[in-house]
Amino acid sequence: MRAFILTTLFAFASIFCHAAEKPNIIYILADDLGYNDLGCFGQRTLTTPHIDQLAADGMKLTRHYSGSTVCAPSRCVLMTGRHTGRASVRGNNAVLLEQGEVTLASELKKNGYRTGCFGKWGIGHPPPRTDPNDRGFDEFYGYVNMFHAHNFYPEFLIRNGKVEALDNELDDMWKEKPDYGLGEAKEGAGVAKLKNDYAPNLITEEALKFIDSSSDDPFFLYFALNMPHTNNEAGRPPYNDGMEVPEHGEYAEKDWPNPEKGFAQMMRLVDNYVGQIVAKIEEHGLTENTLIIFSSDNGPHQEGKHEMEFFDSNGFLRGMKRDLTDGGIRVPAIAKWPGKIAAGSESDVLSGFQDVFPTLADVAGLTLSEELDGKSLAPSLFGKPEEQKHHQFLYWEFLEKGGKKAVTTMKWKAIQLDTLKPNPLPTALYDLENDPSEENDVAAEHPEVVKKMEKWISESHVPPSE
């Protein structure tokens, strides 16, 4: 009997230690959600009660930046821990992750985690259908191609490299799958004429099933919604409304344009999906051993006939998606882990998507084999800011609109425009402490600061490998 008791206690202790060493990790990524789109970050017209509760139960990161100002490079930075001066994918152009490139998912999988990605993959173009699985995910369901993810009523989704048909049908004008100048058709993109299966609902159901099937082992769930992104194709004539939702719900009777009703309902759906994820974790008794992080891949869009200013999506920040002012890259971020992260706390630590990989590796107890551009945020998250290693600056480069580069410190932001043209514009400098909206270029008043920032920009750019 004594031996049985000791064996049982040892088994329970082993389980406890295993759980303590390897917490479950859930990373929820919204698509084109602005800094001011959440109630807990300042939104006043729309409500996001589930996400606000996530913030009330955890920490808000108020100086957190996305990997880029559009989706593909931003997600590349998130998965690889390399900023866009060194990342393999630096734009929404025809390039993919390098063969054998280490990712957050591949490292967690190698160290005992069950890994699942549900939603929009969208790293590079055109990715093979098996790309998420090839990069470290045991399970994938959703859109592999970023352009396919425009369509909320697609004819198919991808499950682990295989096509699964849905009860939707494309409008005839999109069935030829036209080439968009990227050397490959945007497979599955377009606008549906038969709309029965709403993809975000299906994707959420699969994410919840993944939690059900993983509750006995440490898991990493990457829940990457394609919301509140628009269906770009549906925003053009003859449709003129890219914010595709099954119904406008509580906003149906509002005196708002249809695209704004659709945006509001998308935000309601995003919030409800987050609530379902949290409830599922509670159902399995995993709350105390699960780290949940929520963020957005870049600033808000103004596409599909939606107007960014209608709901004041960026508040005091200037710019939007495709800009390197803070409006394009500063994003809301929330982290919750009861007993580890203080409820209702905030941190203004200068941080970005390149920090996610080393942070999650740190909390999972992993030793990384290669140098990343990020720093673990665990000290800030766990109430030990005195132990936090800080970035001297954060860096971005962007390949569209003539090319752009930027660096930021806590106080200064430097932006270069037309960097791909023969005659780039002079470097602009903003004092974020006194001008957080980046309205006044003070480069002429601080030439020594400009010189230092230009040096950092020059040193941060590594030419992409051929």
Position 87 in a domain: yes
Going by their DSSP bridges, the two strands 59-61 and 333-336 should be labelled as antiparallel
For residue 8, pLDDT beyond 70: no
Q: In the structure, what pLDDT confidence band is assigned to residue 259 with cuts at 50, 70 and 90?
A: very high
Transcribe 350-384 into DSSP letters.
-EEGGGHHHHHHHHTT---SS--S----HHHHTT-
For residue 12, pLDDT beyond 50: no
Position 109 in a domain: yes
Q: In the structure, what pLDDT confidence band is assigned to residue 348 with cuts at 50, 70 and 90?
A: very high
pLDDT for the residue numbered 119: 98
DSSP state of 247: -
- C-alpha 2/C-alpha 23 separation (Å) is 31
Candidates 417, 416, 419; CA nearest to 454 is 416
Domain that holds residue 454: 401-460
Among the three residues 390, 418, 442, which one is the final residue of a domain in this structure? 390
N-term to C-term CA, the chain = 67
pLDDT for the residue numbered 128: 93
For residue 180, pLDDT beyond 70: no
- C-alpha 333/C-alpha 41 separation (Å) is 9
Position 154 in a domain: yes
For residue 370, pLDDT beyond 70: yes
Q: In the structure, what pLDDT confidence band is assigned to residue 464 with cuts at 50, 70 and 90?
A: confident
H-only helix segments in 305-446: 326-329, 356-363, 378-381
453 in the same domain as 405 = yes
Within a 10 A sphere around the Cβ of 237, how many other Cβ atoms? 5
CA 194, 199, 205, 206 torsion-angle sign = positive
427 in the same domain as 322 = no
- C-alpha 15/C-alpha 217 separation (Å) is 10
- Check if the beta carbon of residue 193 is closer than 8 Å to that of residue 154: no
339 in the same domain as 446 = no
Position 424 in a domain: yes
pLDDT for the residue numbered 11: 39
160 in the same domain as 23 = yes
The string of pLDDT tens digits covering residues 434-444 is 999 999 999 99
Identify the weakest region by mean pLDDT among 184-193, 279-288, 376-385, 447-456: 184-193
Identify the weakest region by mean pLDDT among 317-321, 366-370, 415-419: 366-370
The string of pLDDT tens digits covering residues 31-86 is 999 999 999 999 999 999 999 999 999 999 999 999 999 999 999 999 999 999 99
The string of pLDDT tens digits covering residues 209-227 is 999 999 899 999 999 999 9
The string of pLDDT tens digits covering residues 392-408 is 999 999 999 999 999 99
Query: Which phi and psi (to 5°) does residue 390 adopt?
Result: -105, 150
Position 9 in a domain: no
Position 6 in a domain: no
> What is the pLDDT of the chain when averaged over all its residues?
93
The Cα-based distances of 389 to 83, 346, 350 in angstroms read 17, 17, 10
452 in the same domain as 307 = no
255 in the same domain as 221 = yes
pLDDT for the residue numbered 185: 58
Position 357 in a domain: yes
Domain with residue 49: its CATH number is 3.40.720.10
When divided into structural domains, the chain yields a total of 2
pLDDT for the residue numbered 178: 56
- C-alpha 336/C-alpha 338 separation (Å) is 6
Candidates 399, 407, 406, 403; CA nearest to 419 is 403
